[in-house]
């Protein structure tokens, strides 16, 4: 499945060359024919995150302080970990900032 992933708020620093936008092909998980957010998170952790994965995921989910958006909508409103992704969806991960 073709997805566009964007990382912001400092999360891009965990990726190779700190690249913010990634156009990727994510395969469905074993025994399924779709990609869920849960599947996407483990795929990102295995394929894109180069360092400090604990700054991105905690358990199955994103760590506290990270907002995940599917097509500009909070993923928790789309079903959270079970949210089913569709071809060409844009998924954004942004870490919250607190400096002033």
Partner 1 sequence: MGAGGERTEAIMREIASLRAKRDELDSRIRFFEAQLRVGGASPPSTLPPSLSTKLDAMGVHAAAASGGLSPDMVRRYSRQLLLPEFGVQGQRRLSRSSVLVVGAGGLGSAVALYLAACGVGSLGIADGENIMHVEAYVGQPKVKSASAACRAINSSIKVFDHHLKLKSKNAVSIVRQYDIVVDATNSIASRYMLSDCCALLHKPLISGSTIGLKGQLTVYNHNGGPCYRCLFPNPAACQSSSDNGILGVVPGVIGCLQALEVIKVATRVGEPLSGRMLHFDALSSRFKTANKIHQKSSTCTVCGSNPNFTQDDFMMFDYDSFAQSTKSSNKPTPSLNPLPKNARVTCREYKRLLDSGRAHLLLDVRPVHHFQIASIANSVNIPLHELKEKLTRLRDALSEVADVSHGKHRPLYFISQRGDDSQVAVHILRENGFPYASDIVGGLESWAQEADPGFPVYW
Which residues are near partner 1 by CB under 8 A? 8-10, 20, 54-55, 63-67, 69, 72-74, 76-77, 92, 94-100
Closer to partner 1 by CB, 20 or 45: give it.
20
Closer to partner 1 by CB, 21 or 27: give it.
21
Dig out the tokens for 22 from the structure: 């990634």
Please give the span between the terminal C-alpha atoms of the chain, in angstroms, as a whole number: 39
Closer to partner 1 by CB, 18 or 47: give it.
18
Residue 77: Cβ-neighbour burial (10 angstroms; 0-12, 13-18, 19+): exposed
């Amino acid at each position: 499945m073709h997805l566009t992933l964007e990382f912001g708020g400092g999360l891009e620093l965990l990726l190779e060359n700190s690249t913010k936008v990634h156009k990727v092909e994510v395969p469905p998980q074993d025994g399924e024919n779709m990609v869920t957010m849960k599947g996407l998170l483990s795929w990102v952790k295995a394929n894109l995150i180069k360092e400090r994965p604990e700054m991105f995921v905690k358990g199955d989910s994103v760590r506290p302080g990270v907002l995940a958006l599917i097509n500009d909508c909070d993923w928790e409103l789309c079903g959270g970990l079970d949210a089913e992704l569709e071809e060409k969806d844009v998924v954004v991960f942004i870490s919250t900032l607190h400096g002033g």
